[in-house]
Structure 1
Amino acid sequence: MAAHTERRRRRALGEHLTPQQLMRDYILPEIAPMLTQYRWVDLFAGKGDLIFPILERIPPADRAEFFAEHIRLYDIQPQMVAHCIQRAVALGVPEPLAREHIRQRDTLADYPDEILRSPLPVYHVTNPPYLYLGYIPKHPETRPYLRYFTGRNEGYQDLYQIALINDLRHAVPKMAYIIPSNFLFGDAISNKIRDDLLDAYTIRKAYLFEQTLFEHTGVHVMIAFFERKPYACREVQVFEAVKVNHAAETRCYRLSPKWHYRAGSEFEEFVTLHRAARPLKVRYYLHWETVQQHAGAYPLRLVDANDFSGKGYRVLEVGVDAALYEHVKANPLFVRTLDTGSADGRAGLYFIPEVFGADGIVVTKATYRTHPIQVFLEPRLPLDDLRLLRDYFNLLLEHLRALTDSEFMTTYKYSASAYTRKYLGLSQAKALIETFPYLEMSDEERERLRALVQAGDTEEVIEFLTAQTPTPAPCAGVVARAACLKPQSSRTGSVLSCVR
């Protein structure tokens, strides 16, 4: 009961206390050369783990003076404030001074303007509360937080976004935020905060953690270092980020305002640019009700997507009429939306008979996006052209995954495995199928595309598509990202290659 109460309390506050090692390993090395140049502030201080390591770098004899001028801490919880005061005193700060500069305050609702009254610029280092707006109305203990999302805050989707926009409104010059990775990769949940914040700030650097960091939540987080622009403007941002999982890997990111500054938008750019003038029509799912309505004498073997055991999916043998029989047999492709966890089970298009030894996939209960899902196309394609579509789709999907490290897809779950499973949305699968220019190709062009796909020549396939769907300008995102992935001798060289 006590553990349950504590979980509810943490959830009600959006509280995920910062592991000290995050500060020492990732933030402190970035800010150490400038400790005397800024006023260091944390408006959501918790136990002070993002600020006291700064004070520990100061010689003991100078700590009180440094604290007086350079440090301000706030937290909404009185017990956290008391803890920080004790910690400051233990580091040599007189208690009256500690109480003056470590205060209890709801800084989401009441921003402390006094932090700005100093000749020193403010550097806000923080791990703000995370609590998604969709969760808040569902629980009585969190409903009071709806007040944060009213008035000029309407449209933001999480408490951490309110913290960011408050800093923007007070022109804080630099910030280091530990926030959910959905800030960078989220679609509707983060479009507004990115549009508003990144018009005014650049991301100088980021760390993206593909592993669980917090003791009580599996939320995926990033550390972002923001710097205020000299003037607000909508422009492409390019920066380097270190992805931390089993190893650290540096990647180059290009954020375009056209796509709400969302990382991984190269997929949307690609499918938008290359959408066929007359795309194939795509539908999903064969429902059990449809099978029952078309009972007849023609035999079908149907995988029951809702009945899986350790031995695999149950296969039903049913009789249907000629119309449904022909409809199912003419559409033998299914989309695997979820990586199975190995390189042999990647998301993509596959043939039902080859994978399941059946004719179709039926949904007998509710539809689930992670089940195998049969794809129905109009017009119907001959078998050889269905094979071409499958190979074309999977070739381009793997190309875009390599280009973006699969960041346009949803992470299904982080684990100790070296392979991070990803989910491909049904709308994404449909959009990629709609780039297949089947209805616009002559027989000769179709054979040329078939040869390019069979050769695995992605660049030539993209050139073929460009010729089929001419546009005034190339897909800048894909071109720029390809440049980013080329090895560079220096950070400056890397950035220059991205914006070229």
Structure 2
Amino acid sequence: MDTIDTNIKIHKTLNNKRRIYGEHLTPIEIFKEFILPEIKDKLHRYIWVDLFAGKGNLILPILEYIPEEERVDFFKNHIFLFDIQKELVEQAIQNAIKYGIPEEVAKENIQQRDTIKGYPRFLLNLELPVYHITNPPYLYIGYIVKHRETQKYLEYFKGENEKYQDLYQLALINDLRHGIEKMIYIIPSNFLFGFSVSNRIRTDFLKYYTIRKAIIFEKEIFEHTGTNVIICFFERKEVPKYEVFSFEGIKIGKDIQKRKYTLDPKNHYRAGNDFEEFISTYRADKPLKVKYYLTVEEVEKNKGDLEIEVIDANAYNGKEYKRIKIYVNEKLYRKIKSNILFVRTLDTGSPDGRAGLYKIREVFGVDGILVTKAKYRTHPIHLFIEPEISTEEQVILMDYFNLILEYFREKTDSEFMTTYKYSSSEYTRKYLGLLQVKGLIQTFPWLNLRDEEREHLKDLIRKKNVDELISFIKKKNGRERLEL
């Protein structure tokens, strides 16, 4: 029993440290497979540095490719590792010893240091240029604020750093400020694909750096986190400037794909921007208004004698949602009955369970979806449309929405959506944001159309003629209509 208790305590301690430090130690295999091929011909040209080294797995394996008789001198002149945690520094020293480095030599170049607060500037005065390879800590400021054990990091985000959102972003901006020319970073994929969380760091950082190559993982590579990561190969520009640039991305999931990504400063250098450009550029002149959630508060304010059966979005037993009956007045009764759609923001993993709009009665056998506790964006969400449109028109909207959504998922490999969870599903499960749902609904030009145009739109949707449908929307909603 004592052994079990001890193991539980150790496990909890390790989990707590991962949360406190934002650490996710990198497997050596990741270095050997994806990073080493890019640097193996340059080993003597640079000082190899990791400012968030952990056990040293991103740098020390270089020593395997240095002859044993040359390793000590190479280590002295070419390798410097730092970490904030004393235990990890000690482990990195022991790992260096395994490569034949004497302990006293290893201790010289493997040091405990908080490199976000105190950048090791002496590296910049050495004879060779620094090449920084790192997997920095990931700790979002929203998490830091909410947890007492991490609030000490709030001081990092003061002054010139106050606009950034994550510890990894501070690592990037520190390298920028110190003029590092080449870096390889393993960082959350929201650096490339995120919105508000990453707009500032991309705009600031990519004025000075280009991405030569990126490896995008849609499978788990760290043992204790599902954080989606990329390996970015950064090179400093000769002249800082905002400019469009392209790079090759290798996406690794259930298969391996090569894709070309073009980043544009007008979109904060965000990758996979086709969907957002469509919904922002081609918003209808008279868009439908969208509201989410049927709440207990609304039901309480509209009590009456009319019975409606709903599911409780907060009561799921693993197989189905709990059904309950509510009694409301005529106004709310009509509102619920006349809005027949719900939003599934989260892929289930099955082909017929992808994110999109669906009929409430067809899926759940009831008329409404009630939120009895907290609102969760990943639950099924009752959708309310204004002005009121008929149930037939809502079905047209549903088919339109799902057709366009699947078009962009195919075109962009769903990169405008957030990867939710690694699993054995037929496809990588994704999350569709509620702002994205609203944006796509508001491209539906129903209120702008004449009768004959509505018939044409219905025909395009029925035939699933997506290319012509997109063209039709662009002409009705976008710049092209000015040329008609």
2:363 corresponds to: 355
1:300 corresponds to: 308
**CA displacement 1:56-113 (0-9 Å, x = unmatched):** 1012222233333322222233443344444444434455544433333222111112
2:441 corresponds to: 433
Q: Which amino acid counterpart does residue 253 of structure 1 have in structure 2?
A: Y
Distance 1:286 1:90 in 2: 62
| Matching residue within 138, 141, 151 for 1:133 | 141
Aligned 8 A contact 2:282 2:477 in 1: yes
Q: CA deviation at 1:13?
A: 2.6
Q: Which amino acid counterpart does residue 130 of structure 1 have in structure 2?
A: Y
Q: Does 1:389 align with 2:397?
A: yes
| Matching residue within 468, 472, 478 for 2:476 | 468
Q: CA deviation at 1:279?
A: 0.6
2:172 corresponds to: 164
**5+ residue gaps in structure 1?**
475-500
1:380 corresponds to: 388
Q: CA deviation at 1:188?
A: 2.2
Distance 1:330 1:355 in 2: 17
| Matching residue within 29, 53, 64 for 1:56 | 64
2:44 aligned counterpart, secondary structure: helix
**CA displacement 1:5-62 (0-9 Å, x = unmatched):** 3332343233222111110111101111222222211122222211122121012222
Q: CA deviation at 1:219?
A: 2.4
Q: Does 1:213 align with 2:221?
A: yes
Q: Which amino acid counterpart does residue 125 of structure 1 have in structure 2?
A: I
Aligned 8 A contact 2:474 2:480 in 1: no
| Matching residue within 342, 348, 351 for 1:340 | 348
Q: Does 1:280 align with 2:279?
A: no
1:421 corresponds to: 429
1:41 aligned counterpart, secondary structure: strand
2:414 corresponds to: 406
Q: Could you say if the C-alpha distance between residues 318 and 234 of structure 1 is closer, same or farther in structure 2, counting changes exceeding 3 Å?
A: same
Distance 2:325 2:90 in 1: 69
Distance 2:70 2:204 in 1: 40
Q: What is the CA RMSD across the aligned residues, in angstroms? A: 2.3
Distance 1:214 1:310 in 2: 27
Distance 1:366 1:416 in 2: 29
1:70 corresponds to: 78
TM-score by length of 2: 0.91
2:454 corresponds to: 446
2:392 aligned counterpart, secondary structure: helix
2:13 corresponds to: 5
Q: Could you say if the C-alpha distance between residues 140 and 298 of structure 1 is closer, same or farther in structure 2, counting changes exceeding 3 Å?
A: closer
Distance 2:300 2:52 in 1: 58
Q: Which amino acid counterpart does residue 152 of structure 2 have in structure 1?
A: P
TM-score by length of 1: 0.88
Q: Does 1:265 align with 2:273?
A: yes
| Matching residue within 36, 40, 44 for 1:32 | 40
Q: Could you say if the C-alpha distance between residues 27 and 399 of structure 1 is closer, same or farther in structure 2, counting changes exceeding 3 Å?
A: same
Q: Could you say if the C-alpha distance between residues 218 and 387 of structure 1 is closer, same or farther in structure 2, counting changes exceeding 3 Å?
A: closer
Report % sequence identity: 56
Distance 2:300 2:111 in 1: 68
**5+ residue gaps in structure 2?**
1-8
1:374 aligned counterpart, secondary structure: strand
Q: Does 1:187 align with 2:227?
A: no
**CA displacement 1:321-355 (0-9 Å, x = unmatched):** 43333322221111111212201111111122222
Distance 1:449 1:441 in 2: 9
| Matching residue within 105, 110, 113 for 1:105 | 113
Distance 1:328 1:396 in 2: 26
Distance 2:414 2:284 in 1: 23
2:208 corresponds to: 200
Runs of 4+ in 1 over 6 A off after TM superposition: none
Aligned 8 A contact 2:309 2:366 in 1: yes
Q: Which amino acid counterpart does residue 309 of structure 2 have in structure 1?
A: R
Aligned 8 A contact 2:50 2:132 in 1: yes
Aligned 8 A contact 2:443 2:477 in 1: no
Q: CA deviation at 1:181?
A: 1.9
Task: Decide which moves more: 312-321 or 431-440.
Answer: 312-321
2:237 corresponds to: 229
Q: Could you say if the C-alpha distance between residues 297 and 23 of structure 1 is closer, same or farther in structure 2, counting changes exceeding 3 Å?
A: same
**CA displacement 1:129-166 (0-9 Å, x = unmatched):** 22222222444443322222112111212221111111
1:212 aligned counterpart, secondary structure: coil
**CA displacement 1:296-336 (0-9 Å, x = unmatched):** 45443333323333552333344544333332222111111
Q: Could you say if the C-alpha distance between residues 472 and 35 of structure 1 is closer, same or farther in structure 2, counting changes exceeding 3 Å?
A: farther
Task: Decide which moves more: 271-280 or 287-296.
Answer: 287-296
Task: Decide which moves more: 430-439 or 291-300.
Answer: 291-300
1:149 corresponds to: 157
Aligned 8 A contact 2:288 2:442 in 1: yes
| Matching residue within 179, 182, 185 for 1:174 | 182
Distance 1:73 1:25 in 2: 21
Task: Decide which moves more: 392-401 or 96-105.
Answer: 96-105
1:492 corresponds to: none
1:312 corresponds to: 320
Q: Which amino acid counterpart does residue 281 of structure 1 have in structure 2?
A: K
Q: Could you say if the C-alpha distance between residues 163 and 296 of structure 1 is closer, same or farther in structure 2, counting changes exceeding 3 Å?
A: closer
Q: Which amino acid counterpart does residue 142 of structure 1 have in structure 2?
A: T
Distance 1:363 1:138 in 2: 25
Q: Could you say if the C-alpha distance between residues 384 and 3 of structure 1 is closer, same or farther in structure 2, counting changes exceeding 3 Å?
A: closer
| Matching residue within 372, 377, 391 for 1:369 | 377
Task: Decide which moves more: 16-25 or 101-110.
Answer: 101-110
2:464 aligned counterpart, secondary structure: coil
Corresponding pairs, count: 474
Distance 2:65 2:331 in 1: 77
**CA displacement 1:153-204 (0-9 Å, x = unmatched):** 1121222111111110111111011112222222222222111111111111
